[in-house]
Amino acid sequence: MATLAAAAEPGLLVTVGEVTDTSAVVWVRGVSWGEVAVRYAPLTRPAGAGPTAGARAEIRVGPSHHLTGKALLQGLEPATRYRYTIAQGSAAVAGEFVTAPAATLAVPVRFAWSGDLGSRGHCRRAGDAYPIFRALAQVPADFFLFVGDTIYADHECGEAARVPGYDFVARRLADFWAKHRHNRNDPAGQAYFRATSVYAIWDDHEVRNDFSGPTEPLTEVGRRAFIDYFPIRPPAEEPGRLYRKFRWGALLEVFILDTRQYRSADATPDGPGKTMLGAAQRRWLIDSVSSSTAVWKVVVTSVPLSVPTGGRTHDSWSNANAQGVPDERGTGFAVERDTILRTLRQRGVRNLVFLAADVHFAQLIRHRPIFDGPTSEWSFHEFIAGPLAASTGQPRPLDQGLSPRSLWSLGGTNTFGDIAIDTGGLTVRIVDGEGQERFVHTIGAE
């Protein structure tokens, strides 16, 4: 068994997330047990707003949460850039974030997404950083969606020329904490997170490849470490809940799914009783998306809708075979997927986009599923990006059950996606790890 190497990278870590028009969550990892001071004030303010004095908060950190802690900043001004400082003893760092506009304002929004950080053979290199974060930093963004596989808890690095502290398979809470701390210690990633707020969700490698939450013994410990290491504040009545939504003005609402915690075993044959989301989350998704008044509805799913994955048993929504042909005896989650999509179509949902990562290649897809006969004109988009730093994959045949049209695809390189929304429509770009734009596509709002 590989032993856990001690991390030798002291320093304050900080990430801001769960930003709304009036609040934000600041997460810190301290350098020692005790109080961490947070100071924050507007850097820019809306026209006509009066002066506001700086505010403060305190976060107490200790060993029970690996020196991590969070504070909810409230009473913030909408559409305002804030600057903050975090200090503990002689250690201090500074950063910025921007709040969302009020739900009634059609303010342009720009954000990035990707996933898959630090797989076997792609861990942090000694004397370097994860370089894609430097490319991300060149793209202005209101926030970043970290779409799963934020660590590879079940991978050893497998190479000697890597920063120590990650080259093991996590089996205990301390191991999972160490994996998260190692990736968050990355200098380029930490610099990016100090400049851009983050909404994160887990996928399988935060615990174990292709895991199903109800039957995986490490689910609880992996979830505990994930919540400890991201600025997520689940509701008190559901302390393990990770699915959630947030609004960004009149143009955008984002719905973040948890595709792991409630799912049936992958090997179970597909059918009406098989679920990836669980009944409560499925109802929440359908009702929340169909009642949203935002122009664009963006659903974040860590696993894709139309790309078959998982080998002998399917791990994504699709149950199609390697040629993209749906298999009636498949083991995916297509029955639940199609039930959700059919209901959203019946409720008249327009301007619907799903964002995913997981498959380690980039692809932009338009789907026009025929649920109600050949005259159906309903369509939606699925955009896939990644990896940030992981083994790269290649595009493969898409699930023909969704009548997909691939607009563009790219494998063999690290990527992230960049989306800009304004009153004219939505523009999506795929950018590679060197910061080069590889494709751009614009769609108008229906």
Do 364 and 395 fall into the same domain? yes
Cα 337 from Cα 303, distance rounded (Å) = 12
Closest CA to 315 of 376, 247, 372, 265: 265
Do 306 and 341 fall into the same domain? yes
Cα 376 from Cα 244, distance rounded (Å) = 30
Q: Is residue 3 part of a domain?
A: no
The 10s digit of each residue's pLDDT in 93-113 is 999 999 999 999 999 999 999
Do 174 and 114 fall into the same domain? yes
Do 55 and 120 fall into the same domain? no
Contact 130, 191 (CB under 8 A): no
Q: Return left, alpha or beta for 273; rule: phi > 0 is left, psi -120 to 50 is alpha, else beta.
A: alpha
Q: Is the pLDDT of residue 398 over 50?
A: yes
Cα 401 to Cα 140, 282, 308, 374, 380: the distances in Å are 37, 21, 12, 13, 14
Q: What is the CATH number of the domain that holds 318?
A: 3.60.21.70
The model's confidence at residue 127, banded by pLDDT at 50, 70 and 90, is: confident
Cα 157 to Cα 145, 162, 165, 185, 383: the distances in Å are 25, 8, 10, 16, 29
The rounded percent of the chain whose pLDDT value lies above 90 is: 89
Do 91 and 209 fall into the same domain? no
Do 302 and 230 fall into the same domain? yes
Residue 107 is which amino acid?
V
Contact 317, 275 (CB under 8 A): no
Q: Which of 99, 131, 156 is the last residue in one of the domains?
A: 99
Do 138 and 83 fall into the same domain? no
Do 327 and 397 fall into the same domain? yes
The model's confidence at residue 5, banded by pLDDT at 50, 70 and 90, is: very low
The 10s digit of each residue's pLDDT in 423-446 is 999 999 999 999 999 999 999 999
Q: Is the pLDDT of residue 241 over 50?
A: yes
- Residue 73: strand pairing partners: 24
Please give the radius of gyration of the chain, using alpha carbons only, rounded to the nearest integer: 21
Tokens in use for 146?
Answer: 């970290």
Do 29 and 172 fall into the same domain? no
Q: Where in the sequence is the domain holding 365, given as residue range(s)?
A: 102-443
Q: Phi first, then psi: give them for residue 214, nearest 5 degrees.
A: -65, -20
How many beta carbons lie within 10 A of that of residue 235, not counting itself? 8
Q: pTM here?
A: 0.95
Closest CA to 333 of 275, 260, 255, 259: 275
Q: Is residue 2 part of a domain?
A: no
Helix (H, G, I), strand (E, B) or coil at 397: coil
Q: What is the CATH number of the domain that holds 83?
A: 2.60.40.10
Do 148 and 69 fall into the same domain? no
Mean pLDDT of 273-282: 98
Do 75 and 113 fall into the same domain? no
Do 138 and 37 fall into the same domain? no
Q: Is residue 128 part of a domain?
A: yes
Residue 331 CA, chain-centre distance (Å), reads 25
Contact 337, 303 (CB under 8 A): no
Average confidence score pLDDT of the chain: 94
Q: Is the pLDDT of residue 128 over 50?
A: yes
Q: Which of 99, 133, 151 is the last residue in one of the domains?
A: 99
Q: Is residue 1 part of a domain?
A: no
Cα 440 to Cα 254, 349, 363, 436, 437: the distances in Å are 21, 25, 11, 11, 8
Helix (H, G, I), strand (E, B) or coil at 246: strand
Top pLDDT among 329 and 227 is at 227
> What would you measure as the largest C-alpha separation in the chain, in angstroms?
67
Q: Is the pLDDT of residue 6 over 50?
A: no
Q: Which of 76, 99, 122 is the last residue in one of the domains?
A: 99
Looking at 76-85, 156-165, 197-206, which range is the least confident one?
156-165
Q: Structural domain tally of the chain?
A: 2
